[in-house]
Amino acid sequence: MGGLVVRPAGRRKEILESFIRHVAEYGYERTNLGDIAKELGMSKGTIVHHFGTKAQMLCELEENYMNHQLDAVRSMWERLAKPQERIAAIVFASAILQVVARDATVASQREVVQLADDPGMQEVRKLRRELQRMTEEELRRGIDEGLFRPVDVEVVSLQLWGSVQWMWVWFQPGGRHTPEAIGSTFVDVLLGGLLVDRFGLSALSDPNGEVATVVRETFAADAAK
C-alpha cells in the first residue's frame, strides 16, 4: 500500500497492515483477530496488547486514513488555487487512491456504516465533516465568483463524495480503465454540470493535465517519505 498509509513501527505495523488487508477483503465483521495472529505467527494476546479491541483497530484505521486524506488534499490545494481545480483534485485523488492505497481505501470505505452512530468514531466523523466543509467552501466560492451555477452546495458536496466513495465496489485495478481515466470522466460530468463557462473543462478533466499531475505527485511524495 502506497500513498495514504500509516507506518507504525515494528510488529504493530505488521498487525495493522494485516488487519487493513483483511477488512478490505472480508469486511469488518468477518475479520478475525485469531486469523491475523496465525498469519503473522504471533498470539492473539500480542494483538490485544498493541491495539486493545478489534473496534479500536477499526477506529485507528479510519482516523489514520482520514487524517492522511485531509493532509493530501491540503497539499494539493496549496498548488491549485481555483475552486474548479480543487474540486477536480478531490475527484482525481479519490480515483487514484483506488490504486495507490487500495487496501486502506477499500477497508475504510466499505465500513462507512460504522461511522453513523458509533461513539468510538466521533473523531472520524469530525474529520469527515472537515473534508465536507472544505468541499462546500470551494463550491460556494465558485458560485460567488461566478464560475459555478447557483446550486445547493451541501447537496452537491454529498453527491460528489457519495459517488467517489463507492468506486471501490466496481473499480478493478489493472482493468480496462485507469484511475486517471475514471477521474477524468467523473470530473467532466460533475464540473460540466457546475461550470457557467465550460471552455476550460477539457483541461480540468485531462488525465495528463495539471490537476491530475499535481494529485499523482502529491501521492508519490507521500509514498517516498
The backbone torsions φ and ψ at residue 41, rounded to the nearest 5 degrees and listed phi first, read 65, 45
- What digits encode the pLDDT tens for the residues 18-55? 999 999 999 999 999 999 999 999 999 999 989 988 98
For residue 55, CA distances in Å to 17, 21, 79, 148 come to 15, 15, 37, 42
CATH superfamily of 10-223: Tetracycline Repressor, domain 2 (1.10.357.10)
* 159-189 per-residue burial string, b: 16 or more CB within 10 A, e: under 16: ebbeebeebbeebeeeeeeebbebbbebbbe
**Residue type, position 16, single letter:** L
- What digits encode the pLDDT tens for the residues 142-191? 999 999 999 999 999 999 998 998 899 999 898 899 999 999 999 999 99
- What digits encode the pLDDT tens for the residues 53-83? 898 999 999 999 999 999 999 999 999 999 9
Cα–Cα dist 125/119, whole Å: 10
Question: For the chain, what's the residue count?
Answer: 225
